[in-house]
Structure 1
Amino acid sequence: MSNKFSFRGIIPPLVTPLLPDFTLDVFSLEKILNHIIEGGVHGVFILGTTGESPSLSQKIKIQLIRETCRIVDDRIPVLVGITDCALGDSLELAEMATNYGANAVVAAPPFYMNISQTDLELYFRDLANRCELPLMLYTIPSHAKTPISIETAKSLSKHPNIVGLKDSTGNMDYMNSLSEVFADHPDFGLLIGPEERLLDSMKVGFQGGVSGGANVYPQIYVKCFEYFEDGDLDKAQEFQNMILELSAELYSHVDHPSSYLKGLKECMKLSHLSGGILSPPQRPFSDDEKLTFHKKFDKIKAKIQKLLEE
């Protein structure tokens, strides 16, 4: 086992492009991966929430791991989500990630049964012991129900094969507590999920973000990260402001629990990167919703182009 893998920069949680019959769209997958790599991202995370992992069959997940590793061809690190309610299925995905050449695996708590923090810690230790690749923890209580407490994260960080944590709580207090606990442990990577907090998180010591919008506009997020790294906080804030506007306009287009995914996949379609098909039970915008969304998209696209040209 190795704990030498480091997480840093912008690592998009890749959307999973699908064909009308809900099978994997390998052509679009290659297009998306090349697009984000050309945009300067520092890694890619497949089979996360943005990738609709819980809605995909094990067969498609394994195909996605294989094809992603083939297409990326060691140009950037590949992180593979292995979250599942069944330990055996998580371990199978971890084995496939190892066999096909991924660099790390990522796991959130199993999302159906009620779990105590004690049992959760034992679960993650068992998973880490049985994974050949480094394991990153992923806390997203809005979807996985069970949070990873600060105390549990601190205890698990001592495991030699648990190398970081992705925070998708959206909770500023939790984010700040993580940064304080791990301030003297830079080898334990901290990444932020909600892109609206990208710059705030880096200011308190996080090493980067798993930003969904980087599927479409990777340069915006990479520029924010790079300007922050260079110490130019004014320019970093300028790109963070664009990220906030993108989020407000395109991810909240409709009053719906899956508005973010609907908006992001429609952005992919309008950017000619994929067909924009969501995996059931998710559904795309209605025709009327698409009409108004397209106007917002065109406006945001023009603003982003102008910002990148300045």
Structure 2
Amino acid sequence: MFNGIITPMVTPLQSDNLSLDIANTNKLINHIISGGVHGLFILGTTGEATSLSYKTRIQLINEACNIVNNRIPVFVGISDTTIEESVHLAEIAKEAGAKAVVAAPPFYYGLGQIELYKYYCRLADQLPLPLFLYNMPSHTKINIEIDTVLKLAQHDNIIGLKDSSANIVYYQKLCYLLKNIDNFSLLVGPEEVTSQTVIMGGHGGVNGGSNMFPKLYVQLYKATLARDFERVHELQSLVMEVSTKIYNLGSFGSSYLKGMKAGLFTLNLIEHNIAPPFDCFDEKEMTAIATNIKALKSKIDSALS
């Protein structure tokens, strides 16, 4: 079973907004690992997977696994519209040394729950690595319903769910109904509710902010496990400040991703290049992010010292 804080890594890109920036990939991964996280998830939503060519995805799998060098588990996103391409990426991930793969429902067609169940079973049967389900209804327009998760949890090669629905009732029901199933991890995407879901019985969070401030999210997770609620309150307030001041700038649907990359640029970890169809923040927004990041870093460093 996997638990703890798993970082959904952004993909550092060169100035062409297409090619992998290997030097900054190395810098970012080592920064994340130094913060004590429990795993690294590449090629997810935060990693812009669907905007990257297969060439870049494959290069990232190989480079990231090589840089990590088995220090923490690596999870690889293989979401695609075809099983063949997902299996191909999984085979590359296996060869590179990844520990598990993650797949959202295939997008474009609206699958029913029976079709979704059959899809995941067919996929899991062919994979060389264990599979995490990825519930991301805001992007795929499909929700993996509770009954479907329960049936899929019986599959020998399906070992967990990453839920990014932000539906707390859905998540709490899963915690309750799956509590007696061994070796099935329930992880949550939205970092704003990670502490809350761990108290419910969840196993951790796949938190984007741990790209920037990994120690903050790790310490919040540990405080939650220890039921140190005074410390939880202190650190949760900082997590909410990250969410409010970095992810919600402007009126873009992509503000989370733009803000994350701008924040990492301010922290001198990556360039703020972003893959099409998106563009980087303009100068005004970058200035606002830089001001907010510097203030946040000071507060976070003080809280963790």
Contact 2:78 2:103 in 1 (8 A): yes
Offset, 1:293? 2.2
For 1:11, the aligned partner's letter is I
Aligned counterpart, 1:16: 11
Unaligned regions of 5+ residues in structure 1, if any? 1-5
Q: CA deviation at 1:186?
A: 4.4
Assess if the C-alpha contact under 8 Å between 1:11 and 1:209 holds in 2: yes
Match of 1:279 among 259, 275, 281: 275
Find out whether 1:202 has 2:198 as its counterpart. yes
Q: Secondary structure at the match of 1:12?
A: strand
Q: Is the 8 A contact 2:198 2:225 kept in 1?
A: no
For residues 238-276 of structure 1, the C-alpha deviation after alignment (integer angstroms, 9 at most, x for no partner) is 212210111011100111100000000001101111001
- What is the rounded CA distance, in whole Å, between the counterparts of 1:100 and 1:290 in structure 2? 36
Give the aligned partner of residue 76 of structure 1. 72
TM-score by length of 2: 0.98
Matched, 1:214 2:210: yes
Quote the Cα distance in structure 2 between the aligned partners of 1:299 and 1:254: 19
Q: Is contact 1:18-1:277 (8 Å) kept?
A: yes
State the distance in 1 between where 2:97 and 2:255 align.
34
Cα deviations across residues 269-303 of structure 1 (Å, max 9, x unaligned)? 01111001110011111112222222222221211
Instruction: Give 1:229's match in structure 2, choosing from 215, 222, 225.
Output: 225
Letter of the structure 1 residue corresponding to residue 79 of structure 2: T
One-letter amino acid of the counterpart of residue 298, structure 1:
K
Q: Which of 2, 6, 23 is the equivalent residue of 1:7?
A: 2
Amino acid of the structure 2 residue aligned with 1:39: G
Partner of residue 3, structure 1: none
Matched, 1:50 2:46: yes
Q: Write the mapping of 1:237-252 to structure 2, written as runs, cut at 5 A.
A: 237-252=233-248
Q: State the match for 1:32 in structure 2.
A: 28
Residue 130 (structure 2) pairs with residue 143 (structure 1): no
Match of 2:291 in 1: 295
Q: How many residues align?
A: 304
Please list every run of at least 4 consecutive aligned residues from structure 1 whose deviation after the TM superposition is greater than 2 angstroms.
none
> What SS class does the counterpart of residue 185 from structure 1 fall into?
coil
Comparing 239-248 and 297-306, the one that deviates more: 297-306
Q: Secondary structure at the match of 1:62?
A: helix
Tell me if the contact between 1:191 and 1:209 (Cα under 8 Å) persists in the aligned partners.
Answer: yes
* Paired residues of 2:13 and 2:20 also in contact (CA < 8 A): yes
On the 8 A contact 1:139/1:147 being kept in 2, the answer is yes
1:16/1:51 contact within 8 Å kept? yes
1:175 and 2:186 aligned: no
> 2:155 is aligned with what amino acid?
H
For the pair 1:304 / 2:300, whether they are aligned, the reply is: yes
What TM-score, normalized to structure 1?
0.96
- Quote the Cα distance in structure 2 between the aligned partners of 1:185 and 1:240: 29
Is the CA contact (8 Å cut-off) linking 2:6 and 2:207 kept in structure 1?
yes
Shift of 1:15: 0.3
- CA drift of 1:184 comes to 1.7
**Percent sequence identity over aligned pairs:** 44
Is the contact between residue 43 and residue 78 of structure 1 (CA under 8 Å) also seen in structure 2?
A: yes
In the TM superposition, residue 230 of structure 1 has moved relative to its aligned partner by 2.4
**Whole-angstrom CA distance in 2 between matches of 1:293 and 1:97:** 34
Most deviating of 273-282 and 232-241: 232-241
Secondary structure of the structure 2 residue equivalent to 1:138:
strand
